[in-house]
Amino acid sequence: QKEVEQNSGPLSVPEGAIASLNCTYSDRGSQSFFWYRQYSGKSPELIMSIYSNGDKEDGRFTAQLNKASQYVSLLIRDSQPSDSATYLCAPRSYNTDKLIFGTGTRLQVFP
Amino acid sequence: DVKVTQSSRYLVKRTGEKVFLECVQDMDHENMFWYRQDPGLGLRLIYFSYDVKMKEKGDIPEGYSVSREKKERFSLILESASTNQTSMYLCASSLLGGRIEGYTFGSGTRLTVV
C-alpha cells in the first residue's frame, strides 16, 4: 500500500463546475496536510493546508479532512481553465518534518 | 517576498561530469530538501538536512551527495553524472517543527545528461 494515494486522472470538468480531488494516507499519526498545485514544467506551489477535522475554506478552495477515515480532499468551486494543473496531496509525517507526497491528480478544466 | 532560489533553470551536462546544483533560501529555515521529479514517479526525496553540516539520506541517495556549510545554502552534487540522472530537480525548505507550514519550493532545475 502506498503511503499517499491519489487518482492520477485526468479529472476533466467543465468551466464553472466543482472539481473534487481526493487523497488517502496510511500514517495515522499525520497531523498536518497540504495541497500543492503544479503547472506543467513548474515547481509545486502551496495552495491549502489543514490540520483539524472538518472543512477549511479559502476563496474558491475548500480542504476537507477526516482523520478517522485517513482521507483528505480538495474542492475547487467555479473551476477555471487556469486551474488546469496537477494537484499534490502531502501529509506531514508525525515524527519527522518531512512531507510525504502523493503522485498527484491531473485536473483539466475545459471551456 | 520570501524565496528559495535555484541557481540554474536548465542545465546540460556530459556523462561522467561532476555536477553541482545550488539552492539558497532567505527564510531562515532549518530544513532543506532535494527532490527529483520524473513523469509517473512523482517527487522522490534524495537528501535532506535539518541543520548546518547535517544531512540524511532520502529514498534515492545513490549517485548523489550534498553539502550544507551555511544555513541558507544546500548543494546537491552528482559525483559522476549519468543519463539516468536526467530529471527535474527541486529544492525545498521548511521550518523545523513547523507543523502548520509546508515546504517552499524553488523553481527547479531541469538537468539533461548527454
A51 touches chain B (CB under 8 A): yes
Interface size, chain A vs chain B, as Cβ–Cβ contacts under 8 Å: 53
Give the sign of the dihedral formed by CA B90, CA A36, CA B97, CA A66: negative
Pairwise CB contact (< 8 Å): B99 & A36: no
> Residue A111, preceding bond cis, omega within 30 degrees?
no
B18-33 tens-digit pLDDT: 999 999 999 999 999 9
Pairwise CB contact (< 8 Å): B99 & A42: no
Distance CA A97, CA B9 (A): 27
Pairwise CB contact (< 8 Å): B43 & A101: yes
Please list the pLDDT of chain A residue by residue as tens digits (111 residues): 678 999 989 999 999 999 999 999 999 889 899 999 999 999 999 999 999 999 999 999 999 999 999 999 999 999 999 999 999 999 998 777 789 999 999 999 999
Distance CA B81, CA B13 (A): 8
3-state helix, strand, coil in chain A (%, to 5): 5, 50, 45
